[in-house]
């Protein structure tokens, strides 16, 4: 709707309400709707002008007069805008506060108020009800859905007041828009009456409460309550996010520590990390839970240990260390120095015990490994794992109100063609070129990462929608104009870019990435070489349609055998006899074109179809391998299993039946478990490895070395093969750090 300038001057008349500077075409009041119950009176000298009178709950009176008139504020209410030194504040009943302090929000913070009303004058009147109670307010005004959308784009308000009975926009429209944008903002409905039935109906539509126009004090109290509740909720979110982050980091530190660490409550073990279990000869935490700490100490040291604990609990000694002798289950003893520190777990007081590792690797090697753990070797950018860690911190900062951030997810459009035509080596050169290009156009404070095989991610802090879109367009244009020279080949490419904003209502880092990925898919499916900012309404619809189409396609593929197995040879550098192949999976669409696993497996995991896909692969791979081995070949297949299949209690029986039907021996099959899945479901992984070995099948742990507890995992899973994570294989011939890590893995595997 086109806007036109109002004839009303923007100069404020003393004692009168100013007209709107920008207004829409006049509208008729909805049928049956009464005029606002504000009382108007003529302004002296201006009979056509009216001053809006509202019973002030708090009046700010000025002792100074100008030209015989009292000093009025620009909005027509008695307040002092210039003579604050002479202003006297009269507090409203029930709103006790310190001078200059808001009863609603923190000191020196204005309420960001958005009012949905039929005119700016009415919106100002509602805002002034709060101002007269001492609540500083910055007003935004909307009279229809277009206005509301623009207002939310500009700034997220703290509170929305929504008049009921408006023709252009309803209370339901407001609540629905907030839900679509995933904004948790309290909405207070304003109506002609405040009877119980109206309040109930408003709350059913999504409002937190309903206030009537003729009860301004009720509105003040409701706003006070809702703002307090919003602050409590925001604080709770912040503290919860910080708590989980601290808990996660503490757990990671304990698990990855070379020192033996345990927690003891009332003399009993309640937690121990891997080195502690190993030091005292245990395999599982369950074996030590509830065991007295005294059982870990040699009998001849019991008296001294008890005396130390008594003095420690009474705080009669500052000594937190005790040299003693530990004892293994077989009775053997060893020297140990225990450090005791007070701690808490789940609110219960306990004692942390640390036994330092006196050997270990050098500090320099630790620093190198730490740096390597967060870097992508090919590009020199950060890797995906480190990016996600930093993204989680950015989400925590946004929830705590420390500022919004934004991310970019950039996907190369024609990378597959480049790799197929020129080979993976030349494709890696193009990837490195794009990484350098991103560095050139990003700020030093931006966090750049190689997120996937041919995708990148960028985190920019203190950033809004406009600036992140500007950066996205700059990067898109730079990639489009770039020419990579590879062995007399000039290679050009384009990219699709998705963006997502991180605000105080963002639920998680994973959700941020999902939104950016979905926005990138919107850009790619629209032809590529474009940018798209995540829009909950548009993207959710497209995402649901895409997921549903893929779900249906997977169902058809399972019913009609539209999957195809491919076999990638695994060559032994040690001269081992026998053929080994990795079983790969592709899905065919209606045009018999391949769909890559990265496109359909995530959907299959979400929809519960992944277990059926795994069983299809197992049955068909066993059938193909049995037929091949009948020709005299000693071939073995590596077959991946998903997390869902790892938890499938009937899996081993299914494999056994398939082997019996085909006559295939168990030694021909090697089942791969991803390291992260094994770590998440260690008991199931341990049981599965044991049961597969009973069938004479082999097992492998893939992506080994990607987590900080990789070596500890091997003590629980006696697998036959380790597949080293690909991040350590890139540039292995020239990268000494990668060589050191791979050598460490080989030494551990052969020990």
Residues in CB range of 536: below 8 A, 6 or more apart = 180, 181, 182
CATH number at residue 73: 3.40.50.2300
- Bridge partners, residue 408, by sequence: 458, 499
Asked whether residue 240 is assigned to any structural domain, the reply reads no
Residues 202, 303, single domain; the answer is no
Residue by residue, DSSP assigns 469-536 as HHHHHHHHHHHHH--EEETTEEE---EEEEEEEE-TT---HHHHHHHHHHHHHHHHHTTSS-EEE--H
Tokens standing for residue 638: 């590596």
Which of 481, 510, 534 marks a domain boundary?
534
Give the Cα separation of 631 and 11 in Å (integer): 96
Q: What is the pLDDT of residues 432-451, one digit of tens each?
A: 999 999 999 999 899 999 99
- Bridge partners, residue 285, by sequence: none
Q: Residue ranges of the chain with pLDDT lower than 50?
A: 1-32, 34-35, 37-108, 316-319, 360-362, 365
Q: Please say whether the beta carbons of 575 and 609 come within 8 A.
A: no
Asked whether residue 248 is assigned to any structural domain, the reply reads no
Residues 486, 570, single domain; the answer is no
Asked whether residue 676 is assigned to any structural domain, the reply reads yes
The whole domain housing 270 covers 259-359
Asked whether residue 241 is assigned to any structural domain, the reply reads no
CATH number at residue 272: 3.30.450.20
Asked whether residue 123 is assigned to any structural domain, the reply reads yes
Per the structure, the count of domains in the chain is 4
Tell me the CA end-to-end span of the chain in Å, nearest whole number.
76
Coil, strand or helix at 342: strand
Residues 564, 485, single domain; the answer is no
Tokens standing for residue 238: 């912040």
Residues 486, 558, single domain; the answer is no
* Cα angle value 469/509/611 (rounded, 5°): 115
Residues 597, 727, single domain; the answer is yes
Phi-psi region of 731 (alpha: psi -120 to 50; beta: other; left: phi over 0): left
Which of 309, 341, 359 marks a domain boundary?
359
**Quick check: pTM over 0.75?**
no
Q: Please say whether the beta carbons of 378 and 730 come within 8 A.
A: yes
Asked whether residue 542 is assigned to any structural domain, the reply reads no
Give the Cα separation of 610 and 648 in Å (integer): 11
Residues 467, 556, single domain; the answer is no
Residues 560, 694, single domain; the answer is yes
Q: What is the pLDDT of residues 334-350, one digit of tens each?
A: 888 888 887 766 556 78
Asked whether residue 489 is assigned to any structural domain, the reply reads yes
Q: CA of 329: how far to CAs of 278, 281, 297, in Å?
A: 12, 7, 11
Q: Comparing C-alpha atoms, which of 391, 513, 486 is closest to residue 431?
A: 486
Residues 604, 723, single domain; the answer is yes
Which of 334, 359, 384 marks a domain boundary?
359
Residues 197, 157, single domain; the answer is yes
Give just the sign of the alpha carbon dihedral 108, 114, 119, 125. negative
Supply the pLDDT for residue 246.
67
Q: Please say whether the beta carbons of 622 and 568 come within 8 A.
A: no
Residues 43, 135, single domain; the answer is yes
Tokens standing for residue 162: 């929504």
CATH number at residue 684: 3.20.20.450
Residues 525, 389, single domain; the answer is yes
What residue ranges in 403-488 does DSSP mark as E strands? 405-412, 447-452, 455-461, 484-486
Tokens standing for residue 623: 């059938």
Residues 456, 567, single domain; the answer is no
Supply the pLDDT for residue 733.
59
Asked whether residue 252 is assigned to any structural domain, the reply reads no
């Amino acid at each position: 709707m086109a806007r036109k300038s109002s004839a009303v001057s923007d100069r404020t008349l003393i004692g009168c309400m100013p007209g709107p500077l920008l207004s829409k075409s006049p509208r008729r009041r909805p049928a049956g709707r009464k005029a606002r119950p504000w009382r108007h009176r003529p302004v002296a000298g201006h009979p056509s002008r009216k001053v809006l009178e509202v019973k002030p709950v708090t009046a700010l009176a000025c002792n100074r007069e100008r030209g015989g008139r009292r000093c009025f504020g620009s909005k027509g209410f008695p307040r002092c805008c210039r003579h604050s030194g002479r202003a006297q504040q009269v507090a409203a009943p029930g709103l006790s506060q310190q001078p200059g302090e808001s009863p609603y929000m923190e000191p020196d913070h204005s309420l960001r108020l958005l009012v949905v009303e039929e005119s700016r004058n009415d919106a100002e009147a509602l805002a002034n009800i709060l101002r007269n109670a001492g609540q500083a307010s910055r007003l935004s005004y909307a009279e229809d859905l277009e206005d509301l959308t623009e207002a939310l784009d500009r700034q997220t308000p703290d509170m929305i007041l929504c008049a009921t009975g408006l023709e252009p926009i309803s209370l339901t429209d407001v609540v629905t828009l907030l839900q679509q944008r995933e904004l948790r903002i309290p909405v207070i409905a304003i109506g002609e009456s405040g009877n119980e039935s109206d309040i109930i109906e408003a709350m059913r539509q999504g409002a937190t409460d309903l206030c009537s126009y003729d009860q301004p004090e009720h509105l003040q109290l409701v706003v006070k309550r809702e703002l307090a509740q919003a602050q409590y909720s925001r604080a709770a979110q912040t503290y919860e996010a910080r708590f989980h982050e601290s808990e996660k980091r503490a757990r990671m530190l304990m698990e990855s520590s070379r020192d033996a660490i345990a927690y003891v409550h009332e003399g009993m073990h309640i937690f121990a990390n891997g080195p502690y279990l190993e030091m005292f000869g245990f395999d599982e935490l369950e074996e030590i839970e509830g065991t007295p700490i005294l059982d870990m100490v040699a009998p001849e040291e019991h008296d001294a240990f008890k005396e130390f604990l008594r003095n420690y609990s009474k705080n009669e000694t500052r000594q937190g260390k005790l040299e003693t002798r530990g004892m293994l289950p077989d009775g053997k003893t060893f020297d140990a120095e225990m450090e005791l520190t007070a701690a808490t777990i789940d609110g219960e007081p306990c004692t942390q015990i640390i036994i330092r590792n006196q050997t270990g690797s050098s500090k320099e090697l630790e620093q190198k490994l730490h740096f390597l753990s967060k870097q992508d070797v090919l590009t020199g950018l950060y890797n995906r794992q480190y990016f996600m860690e930093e993204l989680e911190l950015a989400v925590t900062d946004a929830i705590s109100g420390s500022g919004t951030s934004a991310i970019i997810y950039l996907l190369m459009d024609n990378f597959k063609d480049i790799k197929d035509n020129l080979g993976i080596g030349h494709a890696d050169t193009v990837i490195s070129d794009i990484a350098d290009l991103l560095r050139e156009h990003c700020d030093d404070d931006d966090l750049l990462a190689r997120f996937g095989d041919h995708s990148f991610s960028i985190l920019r802090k203190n950033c809004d929608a406009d600036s992140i879109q500007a950066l996205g367009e700059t990067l898109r244009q730079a990639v489009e104009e770039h020419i990579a020279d590879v062995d007399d080949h000039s290679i050009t490419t384009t990219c699709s870019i998705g963006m997502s904003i991180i605000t105080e209502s963002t639920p998680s880092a994973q959700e941020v990435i999902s939104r950016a990925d979905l926005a990138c898919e919107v850009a790619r499916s629209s032809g590529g070489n474009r940018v798209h900012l995540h829009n909950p309404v548009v993207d959710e619809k497209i995402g649901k349609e895409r997921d549903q189409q893929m779900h249906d396609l997977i169902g058809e593929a399972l019913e009609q055998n539209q999957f195809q197995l491919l076999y990638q040879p695994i060559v032994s550098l040690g001269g081992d006899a026998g053929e080994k192949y990795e079983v790969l999976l592709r899905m065919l669409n209606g045009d018999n074109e391949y769909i890559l696993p990265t496109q359909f497996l995530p959907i299959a995991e979400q929809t519960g179809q992944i277990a059926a896909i795994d069983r299809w692969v197992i049955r068909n791979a066993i059938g193909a391998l049995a037929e091949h081995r009948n020709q005299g070949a000693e071939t073995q297949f590596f077959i991946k299993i998903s997390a869902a299949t790892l938890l499938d209690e009937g899996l081993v029986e299914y494999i056994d039946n398939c082997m019996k039907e085909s006559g295939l021996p168990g030694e021909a099959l090697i089942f791969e478990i991803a390291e992260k899945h094994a770590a998440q479901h260690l008991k199931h992984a341990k049981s599965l490895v044991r049961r597969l070995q009973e069938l004479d099948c082999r097992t492998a742990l893939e992506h080994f070395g990607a987590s900080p507890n990789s070596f500890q995992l091997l003590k629980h899973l006696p697998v036959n093969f380790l597949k080293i994570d690909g991040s350590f294989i890139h540039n292995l011939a020239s990268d000494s750090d990668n060589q050191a890590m791979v050598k460490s893995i080989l030494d551990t595997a052969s020990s």
